[in-house]
Amino acid sequence: CGSGLADAVAWLLRTRLLASSGRLKRLDEVPDHPLCDRLVTIDGMPAFRLAEGVELTQLDLRALQNAKGAIAAGVQILLAKAGLKAEQLDEILLAGSFGSYIDPASARALGLVPPIDLERVIAAGNSSLEGAKMALLSFREQQLGNGLAMRIEYVELSGRADFTPAFTDSLAFPVPGTVT
């Protein structure tokens, strides 16, 4: 699952078996590491054995890294568009199944969310379902939702000239110990 993958990759970063570039270390690079026996090669590519028959491959890591880069680039662009810095945010809501189960510390360690206090990173659960129930059951909440919808601006990220540079800049994982 995605939240388990995020936890595993954050752990690999902390144990320094994964470079901030997203490259998994090879056995010959860390022969004395206590977990070096879990570094394996699959089809000529490095991988980390989580359990017998369950390996985290370099391709898995790159897929997560690309998703993380896109999310982080989107956050960066939206913050700039709003004229805000990450530290000015009151909270970050992680919605949906992934947001409900991901450890906020892992999300921050990967750079999925900006480096803010973990108390301000909140799992919101299935927010679309909750919002729909609130609107159906309460005229007041429906009115509040309508007012909010009038103030929201849709921002298409894929066609923006600043998305690709922001994405490229966001691909690296934070260096362990630099995010507090």
**How many Cα atoms within 13 Å fall on the side-chain side of residue 133?**
5
C-alpha 116/C-alpha 114 separation (Å) is: 6
27 pLDDT above the threshold of 80: yes
Question: So what's the pLDDT on residue 179?
Answer: 53
C-alpha 67/C-alpha 6 separation (Å) is: 11
How large is the average pLDDT for residues 72-84? 95
pLDDT tens for each residue of 127-177: 888 888 998 999 999 999 899 889 999 999 988 999 999 999 999 999 886
AA identity, residue 55: E
C-alpha 120/C-alpha 103 separation (Å) is: 13
78 pLDDT above the threshold of 60: yes
pLDDT tens for each residue of 42-71: 999 999 999 999 999 999 999 999 999 999
Smallest CA-to-CA distance from 92 within 110, 79, 73, 77 is with 79
Question: So what's the pLDDT on residue 96?
Answer: 86
